Amino acid sequence: MAGITNAEFLNKVIPYGFNVATLGGYSLDAPTIEASKKIINRGRKEFDFPLEKIFSHIENEVASIKSNHKDVKVSANVRSTTVQPIIELGKIKELDIIEINCHCRQDEILAIGCGQEMLKRPDLGDYISKVVDNVDCDVSVKIRANVEGIDTLMVSEIIENAGADYLHIDAMKKGVFDADYDLLKNICNDVNIKVIGNNSVNSLENLKKMIDTGVDGFSIARSIISGNLDFNIANF
């Protein structure tokens, strides 16, 4: 979660049972950094690091988590208009997963073709495979489901064919305050990469519904900030 999930925050919540911790989202190039500044200026939280500091900052954050929790995989959720900065990030030795953010829906990010607008790029598959081919760590792609004009199943196949290791899906559905479990089931039946289900895992009941879709894992965002989880993640 931009502006929130830094190493200090993650080091505190990992003991609740998480085996992957995701830092970010971070902006990695001049257009996304500029967009982040505009978002901050209208009062929303964002990480705010200049181009010359962002890579060393992430490296230090990864090291902080690894030194406290050596068995936890560390992921960095990132936005960039071009692949090169993401490939650069892959040089961080302790980073286990790079997560390409095709999910953000803040207007300033959409205006530069990033975040969920990435799902409309005709070269989305090429973008992902260039990252996959040029980094040693695993690659995750975080998408938002049910974006208008986008066939989520087709995008999932593009991501699989591009060689990504994880498909992380915010299974949001407009007007519904729960995850789109049917869509997740269809995707799990259709693709062979690891699917991480996300959205509304805020109770044992919802967690069971999420697991029943066939996902390989699940992620939790808002309930971690609120501290209202009614189950022990370590049991799953």
Ligand X SMILES: Cc1cc2nc3c(=O)[nH]c(=O)nc-3n(C[C@H](O)[C@H](O)[C@H](O)COP(=O)(O)O)c2cc1C
Binding positions for ligand X, rule: CB under 6 A: 1-2, 4, 24-25, 77, 101, 103-104, 142, 170, 198-201, 220-223
Q: Smaller CB distance to ligand X: residue 173 or 185?
A: 173
Q: Which residue has the tokens 């004009």?
A: 149
Q: Smaller CB distance to ligand X: residue 93 or 113?
A: 113
Q: Which sign does the torsion angle of CA 102, 105, 109, 110 carry? A: positive
Q: Minimum distance from CB of 29 to ligand X (Å)? A: 15
Q: Smaller CB distance to ligand X: residue 93 or 222?
A: 222
Q: What number of other Cβ atoms are within 10 A of residue 112's Cβ?
A: 16
37 DSSP 8-state letter: H
> Which run of H or E residues covers position 86?
helix 84-89
> What is the secondary structure of 183-233 as a DSSP string?
HHHHHHHH--SEEEEES---SHHHHHHHHHTT-SEEE--HHHHHT---S-G
* SS3 at position 138: strand
Q: Smaller CB distance to ligand X: residue 63 or 221?
A: 221
Q: Smaller CB distance to ligand X: residue 66 or 103?
A: 103
Q: Tell me, what amino acid is at 26?
A: Y
- Establish whether the linkage from the previous residue to 43 is cis, with ω within 30° of 0: no
Q: Minimum distance from CB of 104 to ligand X (Å)? A: 6
CA distance 140 to 128: 9
Q: Minimum distance from CB of 25 to ligand X (Å)? A: 3
Q: Minimum distance from CB of 48 to ligand X (Å)? A: 13
Q: Minimum distance from CB of 106 to ligand X (Å)? A: 9
Q: Smaller CB distance to ligand X: residue 66 or 142?
A: 142
Q: Minimum distance from CB of 170 to ligand X (Å)? A: 4
CA distance 63 to 97: 14
